């Protein structure tokens, strides 16, 4: 009898830690992001490259392509859409991986918005035989991380990790590992399998739970639900390209920005679509920043004006404030001075509810720098920071300029064609100039696809998209445009 009881308890224990497929790429496309300062890497949902195998015959998978001229540490992040990975007891995650070359892959799990665990990384080797099921054991850690100890929503893949010999544990990224390993790799992943854990109910889990009146908003615990503008921000005038430094705008070519949502501020900034126009939304009634440290390209010494358009749904702006500043580093490793701007109920223009407010400030009227007797320095601007008491601020057209405007005859936008549109297959976008990136959003503003074609023509797969209306923000050497896409 004791043996039977022991076996039954063991069986129930095994059931409690059984693994399930947490992401199979067959439904709605998950949120993804590619990390690389130099750009050029890709992460896209594609058709299974080989369905005639014994490992993985599913329809869709996730392709990751590194950039040959990019950083060795470049990686691709996937955010689980449902249950989390529970690695508190069973630290192994099984993943189907497709590769035609022998390689070693580093995987890193991150708590994300709904998890509780410390960052943890481990690796697994692939023989290059096509589809293989790899086991990533996050108790055998790599790259100076701790063993997995909780629940996780995000997983990041680093295809250029280079530890085929099994002797390297830190900094094993190509080309710094085994000589001769290419800095360009293509892998395909599918069927992320682990013990499941339901995410905790929070105000940023993407689900209407608790007593929320909307998704992650309303009720007793979460911030008020946003009432988004129904019209896009005002369209900026056509200005000479040399007379504009654009941080974010569809009208001009943006500088290379590392992030619009810095981790050192508790606010959250996400890109949404407003009336078919890409717009940034700042939430959290605190602060957030924009950072372009990797490029350090903003010398605004000869620029005379700063511009931004913003919108808030705050019902009472009499005591609210929107502070903004450009952080000047002066060739050092940190801020040495700043250009600060304040908009409140007493400024001109002032805060207003339910309408776009356009701010255009003459920098030549700014205070004098007492050290040099001239205008505040702006030859090495590295960051832009918001602080606000408002819960929701939509903003667009953040740029510096010289207050010059082109005549109608001087302005020619790059010709952009989309075909077929509508379509039940794929869209092709063609331009008269090089297309650097394409981001596709659904009607609710969620990003559903991202491409970096670096070509004058690109094809957007609709395989993982439902019928409906989408918007594509197309960026190229001649600026940015947003086009409407329809899938039948």
Q: Is 43 exposed, middle or buried (0-12, 13-18, 19+ CB in 10 A)?
A: buried
Q: Which CATH superfamily is domain 241-408 in?
A: Galactose-binding lectin (2.60.120.430)
Domain ranges of the chain: 22-197, 241-408, 412-487
Query: Has domain 412-487 been given CATH number 2.40.50.140?
Result: no
- Compute CA distances 269 → 289, 291, 392, 416, 448, whole Å: 9, 13, 10, 29, 17
Cβ atoms of 66 and 109 within 8 Å: the answer is no
Letter string b/e over residues 317-329, b meaning 16 or more CB atoms within 10 A of that residue's CB: beebebebbbbbb
Q: Would you state the CATH architecture of domain 22-197?
A: Sandwich (2.60)
Pick out the chain residues at pLDDT < 50: 1-16, 177-180, 372-373, 408-413
Could you give phi then psi for residue 217, rounded to 5 degrees? -155, 160
Token pair listed for 188: 């395909």
Domain 22-197 shares a fold with domain 412-487:
no
pLDDT of residue 426: 86
Q: Which residues does 299 contact at the CB level (< 8 Å), separation at least 6?
A: 378, 379, 380, 381
pLDDT of residue 180: 46
pLDDT of residue 205: 67
Letter string b/e over residues 227-254, b meaning 16 or more CB atoms within 10 A of that residue's CB: ebbeebbeebebbeeebbbbbbbbbbbb
DSSP-derived secondary structure letter, 75:
E
pLDDT of residue 210: 82
pTM of the model: 0.51
């Amino acid at each position: 009898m004791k043996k039977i009881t022991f076996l039954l308890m063991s069986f129930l224990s095994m059931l409690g830690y059984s693994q399930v497929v947490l992401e199979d790429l067959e439904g709605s496309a998950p949120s993804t992001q590619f990390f690389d300062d130099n750009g050029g890497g890709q992460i896209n949902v594609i058709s299974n490259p080989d369905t005639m195998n014994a490992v993985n015959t599913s329809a869709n998978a996730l392709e990751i392509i590194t950039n040959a001229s990019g950083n060795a540490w470049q990686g691709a992040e996937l955010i689980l859409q449902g249950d989390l990975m529970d690695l508190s007891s069973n630290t192994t995650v099984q993943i189907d991986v497709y590769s035609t070359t022998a390689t070693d892959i580093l995987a890193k799990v991150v708590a994300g918005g709904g998890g509780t665990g410390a960052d943890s990384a481990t690796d697994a080797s692939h023989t290059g035989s096509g589809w293989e099921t790899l086991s990533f054991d996050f108790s055998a850690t790599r790259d100076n991380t701790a063993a997995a100890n909780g629940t996780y929503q995000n997983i990041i893949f680093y295809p250029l990790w280079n530890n085929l010999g099994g002797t390297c544990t830190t900094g094993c990224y190509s080309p710094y590992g085994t000589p001769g390993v290419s800095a360009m790799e293509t892998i395909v992943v599918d069927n992320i399998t682990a013990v499941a854990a339901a995410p905790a109910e929070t105000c940023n889990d993407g689900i209407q739970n608790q007593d929320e009146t909307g998704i992650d908003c309303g009720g007793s615990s979460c911030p008020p639900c946003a009432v988004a503008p129904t019209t896009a921000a005002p369209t900026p005038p056509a200005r000479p390209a040399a007379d504009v430094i654009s941080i974010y705008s569809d009208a001009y070519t943006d500088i290379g920005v590392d992030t619009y949502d810095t981790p050192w501020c508790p606010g959250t900034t996400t890109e949404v679509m407003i009336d078919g126009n890409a717009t940034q939304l700042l939430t959290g009634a605190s602060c957030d920043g924009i950072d372009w440290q990797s490029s350090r390209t903003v010398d605004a010494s000869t620029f005379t004006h700063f511009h931004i358009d913003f919108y808030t749904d705050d019902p009472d702006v009499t005591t609210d404030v929107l502070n903004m500043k450009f952080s000047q580093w002066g060739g050092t490793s940190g801020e040495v001075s700043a250009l600060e701007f304040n908009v409140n109920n007493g400024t001109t223009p002032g805060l207003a509810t339910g309408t776009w407010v356009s701010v255009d400030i003459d920098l030549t009227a700014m205070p004098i720098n007492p050290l040099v007797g001239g205008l505040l320095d702006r030859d090495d601007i590295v960051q832009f920071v918001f602080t606000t008491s408002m819960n929701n601020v939509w903003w667009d057209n953040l740029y510096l300029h010289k207050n010059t405007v082109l005549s109608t005859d001087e302005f020619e936008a790059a010709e952009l064609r989309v075909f077929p549109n509508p379509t039940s297959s794929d869209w092709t976008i063609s331009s008269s100039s090089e297309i650097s990136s394409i981001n596709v959003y659904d009607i609710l503003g969620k990003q559903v696809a991202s491409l970096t074609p670096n070509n004058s023509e690109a094809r957007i797969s609709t395989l993982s998209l439902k019928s409906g209306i989408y918007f594509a923000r197309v960026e190229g050497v001649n600026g940015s445009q947003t086009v409407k896409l329809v899938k039948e």
